[in-house]
Amino acid sequence: MRKKKIDAFPYLMCLAAVVLFTLFVVLPFAVGVYTSFFKWDGFSDMKFNGLKNYLYVFQDDIYWKAIKNTFVYAILVTVLKNVIAFFLASILVKNFFGRTFFRTAIYIPVTLSYIVIGILWVWIYNPTFGLLNSFLSAVGLDQLILGWLSDARVALFAIIAVDVWKWIGYHMVLYIAGLQAVPKDLYEAAEIDGAGPLAKLRYVTLPMINSTIVINVLMSITGAFVANYDIVYIMTDGGPYHSTEVSLTYIMKTAFTDYNFGKANAMSVILFLMVLVFGFIQLKFMSHEDVYD
């Protein structure tokens, strides 16, 4: 297969993806980067502003608070989603009556519209007629009753709980698929070697589903950075006093409430660079199976 001529086949295979991606994702983003050097209200002519928008972002305490929240959010969501989803998957991978029902039930929140989730959870957390506080006082835990969305100490976690609840079903399905694919004879072999449940988990299951874990972790992390706008917006929109602000809510507010597109784009670019660094670090660390040659 050694030819002097460059083999065009692999490039042709990639062409469509690269072209589509460049046109509709990279090009608009490049326009966004360009916009970040201008003052622009979205209507009138853009005014060149040099690096000033970036300076404003660096001086903006709320943005850095939002970034900090985003990191807390990303870490917690990633750990919780993956641990719980893996645990549920390890139960639901087994063959028992009603398994499809359970799988479907847990998947249901994934399919729900944010508008329903917003009303429902804000009302569950409601102090006057909410289910959570009624439940807590019914079981005698009155001291745990809190202003779930108004207390700056807990509001972010109250949102994270909803995010985890919404997406757990999706990650569970991926884990079920991953677990199904682990050959049964490996477990048998491990049992012969005298491995207990934890050892089997450590030495058989986890290495075998590594690629599934990588997908799930990557999805949760990037989701927390670039796709959690809806859920935070409907729950608190960043309040009280910006204690639940995440990067995306602040960016969207700057763009569509304050009509400051230049600064919003500068924030986007900074966020992008941060995700870029962390995304690739994560991939480097976790993808050791990628030595295919």
178-237 binders of another protein (CB under 8 A): 178, 180-183, 211, 214-215, 218-219, 222, 225-226, 229, 236-237
Stretch that binds another protein, among 72-80, 135-143, 144-152, 187-195 (CB under 8 A): 144-152
Sign of CA dihedral 216, 220, 226, 231: positive
Q: How far is the CB of 273 from another protein (least distance, A)?
A: 9
Could you say which of 10, 50, 140, 194 contacts another protein (CB under 8 A)? 10
What are the C-alpha distances in Å from 40 to residues 115, 117, 135, 222, 285? 31, 34, 50, 28, 40
- Per the listing, tokens 């729950």 go with 235
Stretch that binds another protein, among 72-80, 124-132, 135-143, 199-207 (CB under 8 A): 124-132
| Cβ closest to another protein, residue 76 vs residue 167 | 167
Residues in 271-290 that interact with another protein by CB under 8 A: 271-272, 275-276, 279-280, 283, 289-290
68 is written with which tokens?
């900090």
Cα first-last separation, the chain? 15
| Residue 97 sits in the site that holds another protein (CB under 8 A) | no
Distance CA 95, CA 99 (A): 7
| Residue 85 sits in the site that holds another protein (CB under 8 A) | no
Q: How far is the CB of 199 from another protein (least distance, A)?
A: 16
Could you say which of 107, 157, 187, 203 contacts another protein (CB under 8 A)? 107
Q: How far is the CB of 193 from another protein (least distance, A)?
A: 18
259 is written with which tokens?
């009509």
DSSP 153-185: TTHHHHHHHHHHHHHHHHHHHHHHHHHHTS-HH
Q: Which of 175, 143, 148, 176 is nearest to 161 (CA)?
A: 148
Could you say which of 75, 131, 136, 286 contacts another protein (CB under 8 A)? 131
Q: How far is the CB of 262 from another protein (least distance, A)?
A: 9
Stretch that binds another protein, among 73-81, 84-92, 135-143, 198-206 (CB under 8 A): 84-92
List the x/- string, 44-83, binding to another protein by CB under 8 A: x--x-----x--x---------------------------
Count, residues near another protein per rule CB under 8 A: 124
Q: Which of 195, 163, 183 is nearest to 84 (CA)?
A: 163
Q: How far is the CB of 77 from another protein (least distance, A)?
A: 15
CA neighbours within 13 Å on the CB side: how many for 132? 18
Residue 43 CB partners (closer than 8 Å, separation 6+): 259
Count of beta carbons in the 10 Å neighbourhood of residue 232? 27
| Cβ closest to another protein, residue 190 vs residue 211 | 211
Distance CA 189, CA 114 (A): 46
| Cβ closest to another protein, residue 136 vs residue 218 | 218
